[in-house]
Structure 1
């Protein structure tokens, strides 16, 4: 809009007695100013103006709040404003609610007038009667007498909406209300006029005794805030199915045609609600061309979660299987298995290919109605013509010719790549998703679900919206990159006369230092950059599961990420946080050392075997498991230093430490090999009156009886897969891979209790981290994947020991 256009609009709006500031604000909004100009034209005031501020403000309200799906009735509402039947915003709001439900269908004059209170006269006596009834609801009369004039302003708003009062004249209502209040309370007293005293802040100890926050630590307050966020319902933003008659989108055309303001008619909505019972119906629609990743976990949380929030709600698992050359049975089985692992139970498992017969019939219907044609342009030619916004040379071919060619395509009599069926949309549209999208293409390929029946296959653009409608989906939820496709989604359903679900787009879930594009994931797998789709460095759900992430932790992260349209690039520690919280809850504690250093306790007999009780969940449970300790033990090599240092709690010559769950030992010396590496630490068992500050973990030696000997293990430690936080900004993304994303530690020793562990079990290795038993585990060697470190930090290689032992 140019400055000249804006000035003209401001003058027009001021001519209907709008406030100058409001007129200027309105003129800067292109969409609203267009609506208001149309309303003024309908009112017949474009040239004459309107010397009536009240009516001018009502016209302003019509322009801003009129339901778009009922624009056919806007002229009537404007006429009733100008004729004096609609005098207040409350009346307009009542009419708008009625018209929103009605849409573009024929209006019932009686229902319309009743909804807007047209002709309703509310006398002073009616308001007085309403006041007496109002005080009788919910004990308001007694409350008014107790709180007196402090409550009077608060009750006025509720009184305005009570009974017939919403149609009353505002001034008469207010004066009557004030008079009735005076009758009940009498004149204001000195106490009524006094300002209320401010409450003094309670002392911290009082707050603590009353359950307040005064004595809570920052960590306790942070956890409380997180709990409040978790308890909030992220699905509350979605409209109810019975409200699905608003305008979903406006489709503009380049040739001057009237824009399509697409919505369900009242009849369509009523029919839909009758068929479905008004329940929430969603779908999780993955394409079976790869493994599911963390972004799909968020989609599942939204799709299945919305249905689960409402009684009777259901969610389909629908395979979007329109491309037979990219899809595999392997992926289909994986998806169903992962959905179950994530804790979701589909109402039905369906395939887009289940509807191929119906889709074909609808394509024929489109050709017959002039909305589709067979085109012989190549892919490159189609791209070129779209760049130039040029129509295909075959766009206007006769309907009969397209029908015959489409049938030949179906029968396999047309070569692959030489013809497509395209939707006749608008090649000059401002939205490139209206550039005559492909509806069908030829592919001589066996479909993993439909078999060999078809040699033409529908496109995603043709299939997705139609199947949503056929399956009675109430809420079609997808990521933001599909937002430009709203126009084509709804245009097709409008052309076919099908029910239109609500479409709602949310932001993709992206993580720092990793990728979740299926194309990139497939490249990583097929080119051998990772060990497969379930490589624990990937953010595939199979990879996260193998690494030790639980479905509960992943769903908790998805909930915490929210349902928003804002771009999201999450730091990895956010995901780790949820994993750590759940693993702390379920991961039994075990002892193990990653890089063993041998210790001899010289004053313990060679054949000594002492049984000690170790805690399964220290500090939370009295449950224990048994371990043996003898003359020799292994500790973490980072828990020994040749010289003691300040704030160091591990082993050092002359220093005493506690062996976790066992006894205290004092270091009396150490041995080195020729390279200067410490190979043996010599200690003595000591009795102490007070336990030392340093407590270190250990495992027994191979000299113990067989059932008490340590378990040999390979430990896999993971770092970021990519060096850059935002891999999407890196042109040569493969060159950004972190060469040290996996460190394999061989020769680790685990406590004998690990022999009972099964593949997939998760543990907390005390002072080391949370680990999961990997499927590569053999009879001779257990393989553990580190899921996360014990504390929130960047990824660390090896054991993050800092000053050695933990402080007791």
Structure 2
């Protein structure tokens, strides 16, 4: 093991692996990422993906992708495809072919029979509710099932009947015979196999008995030669069962399980079961809704693989559970987009400006940079005429001394253009301002005014250079920091989690996007000046109707907190 690697990586898992390499110089490092294909991956999975694949790269080993497909009632091919897509999108490649726990069903069945023959497993016929009652609680020991002392011969016959489909669902199950008084509830004769009559996406109708996660997981790790099995802290107690199964079967390879803290993110739900509930109740659009931190949702919102990796790197790997600030995730994408996003102007809530001292035919074209700090990103042209749009919030009829934008009798500079002065307003029958009449000082292009004091700057778009679009502004889906802890989490939905605005972008920019809208590999990110970072919503955009999702605002609250 390279000394530089030992010194560079200080988290406790790396220290464990380094010690293992010191003890065994010929160690061949092997880990895995084992998702259940019952939904899309989320930011918590991203932490595990980065950890496992980066460790495999660091220690010149391998990382397998294995689908934990032991429950055909919840798993679907579409989820398998989405998970593979997400891993590739993150920039990782698994070792060899995709693996499935179902590939090992025949071997797992034989290992289950081994336990029966050793008197360490029995077929139980208590109901699911009775098993729960017999198991006891943290404060009271469990009690033995009346079926616990069946003979080995009887258990072998009954297990075969289970396999042959001679019992109905819930009528029988295979349990390990361990200790019903154990302080670890997981060790109180856990269920190893249950009966499910359902079509499986890989094995079809070959099996009607399916191993439980705890039984399949450790044995699959052993079969694949996994050296370090990494999982989150909620599986800490499961380690006892993991090791018990390996010890009492004839497997030759014994992997080691290590636990790290799971990722908990502010204002977010990471439970796939709860996300599905949000979808079923039509609170969100689907697994790729930008308001939830699935990888597909973050991708649609405009997050990049590199920003997610950076976030995972920042939060680190520890054994301490904590709630991560959402602003930290936003900081990572904001910092990246500040370097890479094209600058352009957009108006989300338009109000019209009329420059009365310019005639109708007045038109100028200004060349402006796509990024102020990177000339290599090129330029584009904007059009200046006598009729413009500005943000409605950039003008106030009534204001206090702190208001520094456009107001009657005062001057403001238009970004890249002239200084204008508001002199009059026009209203509709409902007393809404529909037009601001202004004077344009044509001597101020690129020059300071006579008093040598530069006024504030606002953005704008010429009426002649507008393309009507939809903007979607995303806010936290929940109005409490930790909705995952709430039993009735649906009662904390933020009614303003999605706000739609209908305004304009620069037509010159919009037409270029429209030409390439069907290119799925095209990723365009924009900073709409003074507003925020946006990307094209490929799900809802059409060639004649563009929709932009706000990725993140301009203000970096997390970094400001850190500096304080």
Query: If the length of structure 1 is used for normalisation, what is the TM-score?
Result: 0.63
Match of 1:772 in 2: 535
Q: CA deviation at 1:374?
A: 1.2
Picking from 280, 288, 293, the partner of 1:526 is 280
Q: CA deviation at 1:528?
A: 1.2
Equivalent residue runs for 1:370-449 within 5 Å: 370-387=119-136, 389-449=142-202
Paired residues of 1:649 and 1:695 also in contact (CA < 8 A): no
Q: CA deviation at 1:748?
A: 4.0
Name the CA distance, whole Å, in 2 between partners of 1:241 and 1:472. 19
| 1:337 and 2:92 matched | no
Name the CA distance, whole Å, in 2 between partners of 1:451 and 1:424. 31
Paired residues of 1:235 and 1:302 also in contact (CA < 8 A): no
Paired residues of 1:606 and 1:631 also in contact (CA < 8 A): yes
Paired residues of 1:591 and 1:751 also in contact (CA < 8 A): no
Paired residues of 2:12 and 2:318 also in contact (CA < 8 A): no
Per mean C-alpha deviation after superposition, the further-off stretch among 498-507 and 233-242 is: 233-242
Highest RCO, 1 vs 2 (Cα 8 Å, sep ≥ 6): 2
Deviations 1:561-580 (A, max 9, x none): 11011111012111111110
Q: CA deviation at 1:373?
A: 1.3
Q: CA deviation at 1:607?
A: 2.0
| 1:697 and 2:459 matched | yes
Name the CA distance, whole Å, in 2 between partners of 1:639 and 1:781. 26
* Inter-CA distance 238–463: structure 2 relative to 1 (3 Å threshold): farther
Computed over aligned residues only, the root mean square deviation of the Cα atoms, in angstroms, reads 2.1
Per mean C-alpha deviation after superposition, the further-off stretch among 773-782 and 645-654 is: 645-654
Picking from 42, 47, 59, the partner of 1:310 is 59
Match of 1:651 in 2: 406
Name the CA distance, whole Å, in 2 between partners of 1:618 and 1:763. 13
* Inter-CA distance 233–766: structure 2 relative to 1 (3 Å threshold): farther
Equivalent residue runs for 1:604-643 within 5 Å: 604-621=358-375, 623-642=378-397
Per mean C-alpha deviation after superposition, the further-off stretch among 477-486 and 394-403 is: 394-403
Equivalent residue runs for 1:186-585 within 5 Å: 234=11, 237-240=14-17, 243=20, 278-311=27-60, 313-348=61-96, 349-387=98-136, 389-498=142-251, 499-585=253-339
Match of 1:151 in 2: none
Equivalent residue runs for 1:709-720 within 5 Å: 709-720=465-476
Deviations 1:731-788 (A, max 9, x none): 3211111111111112444443123234752211111000111120123321111111
Q: CA deviation at 1:245?
A: 11
Paired residues of 1:667 and 1:682 also in contact (CA < 8 A): yes
Q: CA deviation at 1:600?
A: 1.3
Deviations 1:564-597 (A, max 9, x none): 1111101211111111011112211111110011
Paired residues of 1:713 and 1:750 also in contact (CA < 8 A): no
Query: What secondary structure, in the 3-state scheme, does the structure 2 residue paired with 1:525 have?
Result: helix
Paired residues of 1:292 and 1:541 also in contact (CA < 8 A): yes
Deviations 1:239-269 (A, max 9, x none): 23872899xxxxxxxxxxxxxxxxxxxxxxx
* Inter-CA distance 236–440: structure 2 relative to 1 (3 Å threshold): closer
Name the CA distance, whole Å, in 2 between partners of 1:783 and 1:548. 13
Picking from 328, 334, 343, the partner of 1:589 is 343
Query: What secondary structure, in the 3-state scheme, does the structure 1 residue paired with 2:487 have?
Result: coil
Query: If the length of structure 2 is used for normalisation, what is the TM-score?
Result: 0.90
Paired residues of 1:508 and 1:567 also in contact (CA < 8 A): yes
Say how many residue pairs are matched.
529
Match of 1:603 in 2: 357
Per mean C-alpha deviation after superposition, the further-off stretch among 740-749 and 483-492 is: 740-749
Alignment gaps of 5+ in structure 1: 1-230, 247-269, 795-808
Q: CA deviation at 1:726?
A: 1.7
Larger fraction in strand: 2
Q: CA deviation at 1:531?
A: 1.1
